[in-house]
Amino acid sequence: MVKLANSEPSVIQRWDEVIVGAYLAKERRALVVEARPSRLEEVDRVVEELAGFVSSVKESPLYAPLPEPVEVKPLSTTCDDRILEAMKDPSELAQLVVNAAHEEGAERIAGMISLKYWERAVATSTGASLYEDQAMMETYVRAFIDEGSGQWALGSRTLDKDSIEDVARSAARYAREARKPKPVEAGVYDLILSPMVVGNLMNLVAFMSSALRVMMGFSIFSQRAVGENVASSIFTLLDDARNPQLPGSTAFDDEGMPTSSKPIIEEGVLRNLLHNSKTAHKMKARTTGNAGWIMPHSWTLRVEAGDCSLDEMISEVKRGLLVTNNWYTRLQNYVEGIFSTITRDALLVIEDGEVKGAATRLRIADKLPSLLASVDVVGKELYDIKWWEVRVPTRAPYLLIRGVHTSKHLD
Protein backbone atom coordinates (compact mmCIF):
# COMPACT_ATOMS: atom_id res chain seq x y z
CA MET A 1 0.00 0.00 0.00
CA VAL A 2 1.18 3.50 -0.89
CA LYS A 3 -0.38 6.45 0.94
CA LEU A 4 -0.22 9.87 -0.71
CA ALA A 5 -0.22 13.23 1.07
CA ASN A 6 0.53 16.68 -0.36
CA SER A 7 1.01 15.10 -3.79
CA GLU A 8 3.80 12.74 -2.80
CA PRO A 9 4.14 9.28 -1.25
CA SER A 10 4.09 9.55 2.54
CA VAL A 11 3.97 5.91 3.65
CA ILE A 12 4.65 2.57 1.96
CA GLN A 13 3.38 -0.45 3.88
CA ARG A 14 3.53 -4.19 3.27
CA TRP A 15 1.66 -6.98 5.05
CA ASP A 16 2.04 -10.73 4.83
CA GLU A 17 -0.32 -12.69 7.06
CA VAL A 18 -2.15 -15.97 7.45
CA ILE A 19 -5.77 -15.97 8.65
CA VAL A 20 -7.33 -19.23 9.81
CA GLY A 21 -11.02 -19.62 10.57
CA ALA A 22 -12.74 -22.66 12.02
CA TYR A 23 -16.39 -23.64 12.47
CA LEU A 24 -17.07 -26.48 14.91
CA ALA A 25 -20.47 -28.04 15.55
CA LYS A 26 -21.59 -30.84 17.87
CA GLU A 27 -25.09 -31.86 18.96
CA ARG A 28 -26.64 -28.72 17.44
CA ARG A 29 -24.10 -26.51 19.21
CA ALA A 30 -21.70 -24.39 17.19
CA LEU A 31 -18.63 -22.23 17.71
CA VAL A 32 -16.61 -20.07 15.34
CA VAL A 33 -13.07 -18.80 15.79
CA GLU A 34 -10.67 -16.79 13.66
CA ALA A 35 -6.95 -16.58 14.36
CA ARG A 36 -3.82 -15.09 12.85
CA PRO A 37 -1.18 -17.65 13.84
CA SER A 38 2.51 -16.90 13.57
CA ARG A 39 3.15 -20.62 13.10
CA LEU A 40 0.91 -23.23 11.49
CA GLU A 41 1.26 -25.49 14.53
CA GLU A 42 -0.77 -22.97 16.54
CA VAL A 43 -3.87 -23.79 14.49
CA ASP A 44 -4.15 -27.29 15.99
CA ARG A 45 -3.98 -25.86 19.50
CA VAL A 46 -6.70 -23.29 18.77
CA VAL A 47 -9.03 -25.94 17.34
CA GLU A 48 -8.41 -28.33 20.24
CA GLU A 49 -9.19 -25.61 22.78
CA LEU A 50 -12.31 -24.60 20.90
CA ALA A 51 -13.55 -28.19 20.74
CA GLY A 52 -13.52 -28.31 24.52
CA PHE A 53 -16.00 -25.43 24.71
CA VAL A 54 -18.60 -26.76 22.27
CA SER A 55 -20.51 -28.81 24.84
CA SER A 56 -20.89 -25.81 27.16
CA VAL A 57 -22.73 -23.53 24.72
CA LYS A 58 -26.46 -23.52 24.06
CA GLU A 59 -28.00 -25.28 21.10
CA SER A 60 -28.27 -23.04 18.08
CA PRO A 61 -31.83 -22.29 16.90
CA LEU A 62 -30.36 -21.96 13.41
CA TYR A 63 -28.37 -25.18 13.39
CA ALA A 64 -28.22 -27.09 10.13
CA PRO A 65 -25.64 -29.70 9.12
CA LEU A 66 -22.94 -28.65 6.71
CA PRO A 67 -24.03 -29.32 3.14
CA GLU A 68 -22.63 -32.19 1.14
CA PRO A 69 -20.02 -31.07 -1.40
CA VAL A 70 -21.09 -30.40 -4.98
CA GLU A 71 -19.16 -29.46 -8.10
CA VAL A 72 -17.66 -25.98 -8.00
CA LYS A 73 -16.54 -24.42 -11.26
CA PRO A 74 -13.58 -22.04 -10.83
CA LEU A 75 -13.77 -18.49 -12.11
CA SER A 76 -11.96 -17.89 -15.38
CA THR A 77 -9.46 -15.21 -14.30
CA THR A 78 -8.92 -13.82 -10.82
CA CYS A 79 -5.23 -12.94 -10.83
CA ASP A 80 -3.60 -10.28 -13.05
CA ASP A 81 0.17 -10.73 -13.26
CA ARG A 82 0.55 -6.95 -13.70
CA ILE A 83 -0.69 -6.49 -10.13
CA LEU A 84 1.89 -8.96 -8.83
CA GLU A 85 4.63 -7.16 -10.74
CA ALA A 86 3.54 -3.72 -9.49
CA MET A 87 3.63 -4.96 -5.89
CA LYS A 88 7.42 -5.09 -6.15
CA ASP A 89 7.63 -1.34 -6.76
CA PRO A 90 4.39 0.71 -6.77
CA SER A 91 6.20 4.05 -7.11
CA GLU A 92 5.39 4.32 -10.83
CA LEU A 93 1.65 4.06 -10.11
CA ALA A 94 1.91 6.71 -7.41
CA GLN A 95 3.61 9.08 -9.84
CA LEU A 96 0.95 8.41 -12.48
CA VAL A 97 -1.74 9.48 -10.04
CA VAL A 98 0.08 12.65 -8.99
CA ASN A 99 0.88 13.68 -12.56
CA ALA A 100 -2.64 13.05 -13.89
CA ALA A 101 -4.28 15.06 -11.11
CA HIS A 102 -1.93 18.03 -11.51
CA GLU A 103 -2.35 18.01 -15.30
CA GLU A 104 -6.07 18.44 -14.61
CA GLY A 105 -5.37 21.46 -12.40
CA ALA A 106 -5.18 20.00 -8.89
CA GLU A 107 -3.14 22.05 -6.42
CA ARG A 108 -2.50 19.04 -4.21
CA ILE A 109 -3.83 15.55 -3.71
CA ALA A 110 -4.10 12.85 -1.07
CA GLY A 111 -5.01 9.23 -1.54
CA MET A 112 -4.01 5.61 -1.52
CA ILE A 113 -3.02 2.78 -3.85
CA SER A 114 -3.40 -0.75 -2.52
CA LEU A 115 -2.28 -3.93 -4.31
CA LYS A 116 -3.30 -7.30 -2.91
CA TYR A 117 -2.72 -10.98 -3.60
CA TRP A 118 -4.23 -13.74 -1.51
CA GLU A 119 -4.93 -17.46 -1.53
CA ARG A 120 -8.12 -18.91 -0.09
CA ALA A 121 -8.89 -22.50 0.82
CA VAL A 122 -11.98 -24.13 2.33
CA ALA A 123 -12.16 -27.68 3.68
CA THR A 124 -15.15 -29.28 5.42
CA SER A 125 -15.76 -32.51 7.30
CA THR A 126 -18.31 -33.45 4.64
CA GLY A 127 -15.55 -33.67 2.03
CA ALA A 128 -15.26 -30.26 0.36
CA SER A 129 -11.70 -29.21 -0.47
CA LEU A 130 -11.44 -26.00 -2.48
CA TYR A 131 -8.78 -23.46 -3.40
CA GLU A 132 -8.47 -20.24 -5.40
CA ASP A 133 -6.04 -17.35 -5.62
CA GLN A 134 -6.96 -13.75 -6.34
CA ALA A 135 -5.43 -10.34 -6.87
CA MET A 136 -6.92 -6.86 -6.84
CA MET A 137 -5.98 -3.21 -6.89
CA GLU A 138 -7.77 -0.42 -5.08
CA THR A 139 -7.15 3.30 -5.26
CA TYR A 140 -8.83 6.51 -4.25
CA VAL A 141 -7.69 10.08 -4.86
CA ARG A 142 -8.86 13.29 -3.24
CA ALA A 143 -7.87 16.48 -5.07
CA PHE A 144 -7.95 20.07 -3.82
CA ILE A 145 -8.31 23.39 -5.68
CA ASP A 146 -8.97 26.59 -3.70
CA GLU A 147 -11.89 25.77 -1.37
CA GLY A 148 -13.02 22.86 -3.49
CA SER A 149 -12.28 19.17 -3.25
CA GLY A 150 -13.19 16.16 -5.34
CA GLN A 151 -12.72 12.45 -4.89
CA TRP A 152 -12.95 9.31 -6.99
CA ALA A 153 -12.14 5.65 -6.40
CA LEU A 154 -11.54 2.40 -8.24
CA GLY A 155 -11.46 -1.28 -7.32
CA SER A 156 -10.43 -3.75 -10.01
CA ARG A 157 -9.16 -7.25 -10.70
CA THR A 158 -6.85 -5.84 -13.35
CA LEU A 159 -4.18 -3.18 -13.32
CA ASP A 160 -4.90 -0.68 -16.07
CA LYS A 161 -2.82 2.49 -15.93
CA ASP A 162 -5.34 4.52 -17.94
CA SER A 163 -8.08 3.67 -15.43
CA ILE A 164 -5.85 4.69 -12.54
CA GLU A 165 -5.13 8.04 -14.21
CA ASP A 166 -8.87 8.51 -14.81
CA VAL A 167 -9.44 8.29 -11.05
CA ALA A 168 -7.03 11.18 -10.47
CA ARG A 169 -8.49 13.24 -13.32
CA SER A 170 -12.06 12.73 -12.12
CA ALA A 171 -11.13 13.85 -8.61
CA ALA A 172 -9.40 16.97 -9.96
CA ARG A 173 -12.27 17.88 -12.30
CA TYR A 174 -14.77 17.75 -9.47
CA ALA A 175 -12.44 19.79 -7.26
CA ARG A 176 -12.27 22.45 -9.96
CA GLU A 177 -16.07 22.59 -10.26
CA ALA A 178 -16.40 22.90 -6.48
CA ARG A 179 -13.69 25.49 -5.84
CA LYS A 180 -16.12 28.24 -4.75
CA PRO A 181 -18.88 26.56 -2.74
CA LYS A 182 -21.78 28.54 -1.29
CA PRO A 183 -24.41 27.58 1.30
CA VAL A 184 -27.76 26.36 -0.02
CA GLU A 185 -31.04 25.88 1.77
CA ALA A 186 -31.94 22.43 3.01
CA GLY A 187 -35.11 20.98 1.57
CA VAL A 188 -36.39 18.55 -1.02
CA TYR A 189 -34.21 18.17 -4.10
CA ASP A 190 -33.86 15.94 -7.12
CA LEU A 191 -30.49 14.32 -6.53
CA ILE A 192 -28.04 12.84 -9.00
CA LEU A 193 -25.96 10.38 -7.01
CA SER A 194 -22.52 9.52 -8.33
CA PRO A 195 -21.32 5.89 -8.43
CA MET A 196 -19.37 6.66 -5.24
CA VAL A 197 -22.61 7.44 -3.39
CA VAL A 198 -24.58 4.69 -5.13
CA GLY A 199 -21.92 2.20 -4.07
CA ASN A 200 -22.17 3.28 -0.44
CA LEU A 201 -25.97 3.08 -0.33
CA MET A 202 -26.16 -0.20 -2.27
CA ASN A 203 -23.75 -1.72 0.24
CA LEU A 204 -26.41 -0.88 2.80
CA VAL A 205 -29.21 -2.43 0.72
CA ALA A 206 -27.15 -5.58 0.17
CA PHE A 207 -26.36 -5.71 3.91
CA MET A 208 -30.12 -5.79 4.50
CA SER A 209 -30.68 -8.56 1.94
CA SER A 210 -28.87 -11.04 4.20
CA ALA A 211 -31.50 -13.54 5.35
CA LEU A 212 -30.15 -13.51 8.90
CA ARG A 213 -30.47 -9.74 9.13
CA VAL A 214 -34.02 -10.05 7.82
CA MET A 215 -34.76 -12.60 10.55
CA MET A 216 -33.18 -10.35 13.20
CA GLY A 217 -35.20 -7.30 12.14
CA PHE A 218 -32.22 -5.34 10.86
CA SER A 219 -33.59 -4.92 7.35
CA ILE A 220 -36.02 -2.95 5.22
CA PHE A 221 -37.03 -6.37 3.85
CA SER A 222 -38.08 -7.76 7.25
CA GLN A 223 -41.73 -7.00 6.49
CA ARG A 224 -41.54 -7.68 2.77
CA ALA A 225 -41.70 -10.93 0.83
CA VAL A 226 -39.68 -12.15 -2.11
CA GLY A 227 -41.70 -11.25 -5.19
CA GLU A 228 -42.92 -7.90 -3.86
CA ASN A 229 -42.12 -4.55 -5.47
CA VAL A 230 -39.51 -2.73 -3.41
CA ALA A 231 -37.97 -0.29 -5.91
CA SER A 232 -38.46 1.54 -9.19
CA SER A 233 -39.11 -0.76 -12.14
CA ILE A 234 -35.96 0.53 -13.88
CA PHE A 235 -33.71 -0.49 -10.98
CA THR A 236 -31.84 -3.81 -10.74
CA LEU A 237 -29.21 -4.75 -8.14
CA LEU A 238 -27.24 -8.00 -8.38
CA ASP A 239 -24.89 -9.94 -6.17
CA ASP A 240 -22.50 -10.59 -9.06
CA ALA A 241 -20.44 -13.23 -7.30
CA ARG A 242 -19.19 -15.01 -10.42
CA ASN A 243 -18.13 -11.98 -12.43
CA PRO A 244 -14.34 -12.45 -12.68
CA GLN A 245 -13.85 -8.77 -13.56
CA LEU A 246 -15.02 -7.62 -10.14
CA PRO A 247 -12.95 -7.82 -6.96
CA GLY A 248 -14.77 -9.81 -4.33
CA SER A 249 -16.09 -12.37 -6.81
CA THR A 250 -15.44 -15.96 -5.81
CA ALA A 251 -16.29 -19.48 -6.91
CA PHE A 252 -17.32 -20.80 -3.48
CA ASP A 253 -18.55 -19.61 -0.11
CA ASP A 254 -17.38 -20.45 3.41
CA GLU A 255 -19.45 -23.66 3.45
CA GLY A 256 -17.87 -24.85 0.22
CA MET A 257 -21.00 -24.20 -1.81
CA PRO A 258 -20.80 -22.75 -5.34
CA THR A 259 -21.65 -19.10 -5.68
CA SER A 260 -23.89 -17.62 -8.35
CA SER A 261 -24.60 -14.23 -9.88
CA LYS A 262 -28.16 -13.42 -8.92
CA PRO A 263 -30.49 -10.42 -8.65
CA ILE A 264 -31.30 -9.11 -5.20
CA ILE A 265 -33.73 -6.65 -6.76
CA GLU A 266 -34.77 -7.14 -10.40
CA GLU A 267 -36.74 -4.43 -12.20
CA GLY A 268 -37.97 -3.23 -8.84
CA VAL A 269 -38.96 -6.65 -7.50
CA LEU A 270 -37.27 -8.33 -4.52
CA ARG A 271 -35.98 -11.56 -6.07
CA ASN A 272 -33.55 -13.08 -3.58
CA LEU A 273 -32.45 -12.95 0.00
CA LEU A 274 -28.88 -14.09 0.57
CA HIS A 275 -28.69 -17.45 2.36
CA ASN A 276 -26.28 -19.87 3.93
CA SER A 277 -27.39 -23.43 4.71
CA LYS A 278 -28.69 -22.43 8.16
CA THR A 279 -30.93 -19.54 7.15
CA ALA A 280 -32.08 -21.53 4.13
CA HIS A 281 -33.10 -24.44 6.39
CA LYS A 282 -34.91 -22.09 8.77
CA MET A 283 -36.76 -20.25 6.01
CA LYS A 284 -37.41 -23.35 3.89
CA ALA A 285 -35.29 -22.03 1.05
CA ARG A 286 -32.03 -23.01 -0.65
CA THR A 287 -28.57 -21.73 0.09
CA THR A 288 -27.54 -19.06 -2.40
CA GLY A 289 -23.80 -19.59 -1.91
CA ASN A 290 -23.38 -16.50 0.27
CA ALA A 291 -22.18 -18.09 3.51
CA GLY A 292 -19.78 -16.25 5.74
CA TRP A 293 -18.78 -17.81 9.04
CA ILE A 294 -21.93 -16.51 10.70
CA MET A 295 -23.76 -14.06 8.45
CA PRO A 296 -24.77 -14.57 4.81
CA HIS A 297 -23.41 -11.63 2.82
CA SER A 298 -22.95 -10.33 -0.70
CA TRP A 299 -19.65 -10.87 -2.51
CA THR A 300 -19.62 -8.08 -5.08
CA LEU A 301 -22.42 -5.85 -6.36
CA ARG A 302 -23.57 -4.56 -9.72
CA VAL A 303 -26.33 -2.10 -10.57
CA GLU A 304 -27.53 -2.70 -14.12
CA ALA A 305 -26.88 0.15 -16.52
CA GLY A 306 -29.54 2.36 -18.01
CA ASP A 307 -29.50 4.39 -21.22
CA CYS A 308 -28.73 7.95 -20.14
CA SER A 309 -25.46 9.90 -20.09
CA LEU A 310 -24.58 12.14 -17.15
CA ASP A 311 -25.11 15.27 -19.26
CA GLU A 312 -28.55 14.02 -20.32
CA MET A 313 -29.35 13.27 -16.69
CA ILE A 314 -28.36 16.80 -15.63
CA SER A 315 -30.58 18.23 -18.36
CA GLU A 316 -33.55 16.43 -16.77
CA VAL A 317 -33.16 18.31 -13.47
CA LYS A 318 -34.87 21.65 -12.87
CA ARG A 319 -33.81 22.10 -9.23
CA GLY A 320 -31.37 19.65 -7.79
CA LEU A 321 -27.91 18.64 -6.68
CA LEU A 322 -25.18 16.38 -8.00
CA VAL A 323 -23.78 14.50 -4.99
CA THR A 324 -20.32 13.20 -5.84
CA ASN A 325 -19.33 11.67 -2.50
CA ASN A 326 -20.66 10.93 0.99
CA TRP A 327 -19.69 9.57 4.37
CA TYR A 328 -21.03 8.96 7.89
CA THR A 329 -24.01 6.97 6.63
CA ARG A 330 -26.09 5.98 9.66
CA LEU A 331 -29.37 4.14 10.22
CA GLN A 332 -31.91 5.50 12.70
CA ASN A 333 -34.45 2.72 12.01
CA TYR A 334 -33.45 -0.45 10.18
CA VAL A 335 -36.93 -1.78 9.39
CA GLU A 336 -38.18 1.53 7.99
CA GLY A 337 -34.78 2.31 6.48
CA ILE A 338 -34.59 5.78 8.03
CA PHE A 339 -31.05 6.96 7.42
CA SER A 340 -28.83 9.97 7.03
CA THR A 341 -25.54 10.56 5.25
CA ILE A 342 -23.36 13.63 4.88
CA THR A 343 -22.29 14.91 1.48
CA ARG A 344 -18.54 15.23 1.05
CA ASP A 345 -16.33 16.97 -1.52
CA ALA A 346 -17.99 18.41 -4.64
CA LEU A 347 -21.71 19.08 -4.21
CA LEU A 348 -22.90 20.74 -7.42
CA VAL A 349 -26.01 22.88 -7.79
CA ILE A 350 -28.23 22.17 -10.81
CA GLU A 351 -30.79 24.69 -12.05
CA ASP A 352 -32.86 24.40 -15.23
CA GLY A 353 -30.77 21.53 -16.57
CA GLU A 354 -27.34 23.08 -16.00
CA VAL A 355 -24.67 23.02 -13.30
CA LYS A 356 -24.66 26.54 -11.85
CA GLY A 357 -22.09 26.25 -9.08
CA ALA A 358 -21.13 24.37 -5.94
CA ALA A 359 -22.69 24.09 -2.50
CA THR A 360 -21.35 23.50 0.98
CA ARG A 361 -22.24 20.31 2.80
CA LEU A 362 -25.76 19.02 3.35
CA ARG A 363 -27.11 15.97 5.09
CA ILE A 364 -29.30 13.59 3.10
CA ALA A 365 -32.03 12.46 5.53
CA ASP A 366 -34.63 10.13 4.07
CA LYS A 367 -35.76 6.50 3.86
CA LEU A 368 -34.06 3.82 1.79
CA PRO A 369 -37.38 2.42 0.47
CA SER A 370 -38.32 5.92 -0.73
CA LEU A 371 -34.98 6.33 -2.50
CA LEU A 372 -35.29 2.95 -4.21
CA ALA A 373 -38.84 3.72 -5.32
CA SER A 374 -37.88 7.18 -6.63
CA VAL A 375 -35.08 6.14 -9.01
CA ASP A 376 -36.13 7.94 -12.20
CA VAL A 377 -33.08 7.70 -14.49
CA VAL A 378 -30.18 5.22 -14.55
CA GLY A 379 -26.87 6.13 -16.17
CA LYS A 380 -25.46 4.06 -19.01
CA GLU A 381 -21.82 4.13 -17.89
CA LEU A 382 -20.71 1.82 -15.08
CA TYR A 383 -17.82 2.49 -12.70
CA ASP A 384 -16.02 0.00 -10.47
CA ILE A 385 -15.92 1.53 -6.99
CA LYS A 386 -14.14 0.38 -3.86
CA TRP A 387 -12.84 2.37 -0.94
CA TRP A 388 -13.47 2.51 2.80
CA GLU A 389 -17.04 3.80 2.41
CA VAL A 390 -17.77 1.10 -0.20
CA ARG A 391 -16.52 -2.06 1.50
CA VAL A 392 -18.21 -4.47 -0.92
CA PRO A 393 -16.85 -3.70 -4.41
CA THR A 394 -19.66 -2.22 -6.49
CA ARG A 395 -20.07 -1.62 -10.22
CA ALA A 396 -22.49 1.29 -10.38
CA PRO A 397 -23.86 4.08 -12.61
CA TYR A 398 -25.05 7.57 -11.80
CA LEU A 399 -28.67 7.57 -10.55
CA LEU A 400 -31.24 10.37 -10.70
CA ILE A 401 -33.56 10.15 -7.70
CA ARG A 402 -36.53 12.48 -7.38
CA GLY A 403 -37.72 14.30 -4.30
CA VAL A 404 -35.05 13.50 -1.72
CA HIS A 405 -35.12 15.18 1.68
CA THR A 406 -32.04 17.01 2.95
CA SER A 407 -31.20 18.85 6.15
CA LYS A 408 -28.50 21.29 7.15
CA HIS A 409 -25.15 19.88 8.18
CA LEU A 410 -23.39 21.72 10.98
CA ASP A 411 -19.65 21.91 10.26
How many folded domains does the chain comprise?
2
Tell me whether residue 26 is in a domain: yes
Query: Is the same domain home to 24 and 173?
Result: no
Query: Is the same domain home to 27 and 116?
Result: no
Q: Are strands 390-396 and 383-387 parallel, antiparallel or unpaired?
A: antiparallel
Query: Is the same domain home to 41 and 150?
Result: no
Please state the rounded mean pLDDT for residues 85-106: 96
Tell me whether residue 240 is in a domain: no
pLDDT at 290 over 70: yes
- Give the pLDDT confidence of 347-359 residue by residue, as tens digits: 999 999 999 999 9
pLDDT of residue 411: 54
Query: Is the same domain home to 52 and 88?
Result: no
pLDDT of residue 49: 81
Query: Is the same domain home to 43 and 79?
Result: no
Query: Is the same domain home to 42 and 123?
Result: no
- Give the pLDDT confidence of 133-165 residue by residue, as tens digits: 999 999 999 999 999 999 999 999 999 999 999
Tell me whether residue 211 is in a domain: no
Tell me whether residue 153 is in a domain: yes
Q: Which domain holds residue 83?
A: 2-15+73-177
Please state the rounded mean pLDDT for residues 94-113: 98
Tell me whether residue 371 is in a domain: no
Tell me whether residue 86 is in a domain: yes
Please state the rounded mean pLDDT for residues 389-403: 98
Query: Is the same domain home to 172 and 32?
Result: no
We report the CATH number of the domain holding residue 164 as: 3.30.2290.10
SS (H, E, C) the chain: CEEEECCEEEEECCCCCCCEEEEEEECCEEEEEEECCCCCHHHHHHHHHHHCCHHHCCCCCCCCCCCCCCCCCCCCCCCCHHHHHHCCCCHHHHHHHHHHHHHCCCCEEEEEEEEEEEEEEEECCCCCEEEEEEEEEEEEEEEEECCEEEEEEEEECCCCHHHHHHHHHHHHHHHHHCCCEECCCCCEEEEEECHHHHHHHHHHHHHHCEHHHHHHCCCCCCCCCCCCECCCCCCCEEEECCCCCCCCCCCECCCCCECCEEEEEECCEECCCECCHHHHHHCCCCCCCCCCCCCCCCCCEEECCCCECHHHHHHCCCEEEEECCEEEEEEEECCCCEEEEEECCCEEEEECCEEEEEECCEEEEEEHHHHHHCEEEEECCCEEEEECCEEEEEEECCEEEEEEEEEECCC
Query: Is the same domain home to 9 and 107?
Result: yes
Q: How far apart are CA 261 and CA 77, in angstroms?
A: 16
pTM of the model: 0.96
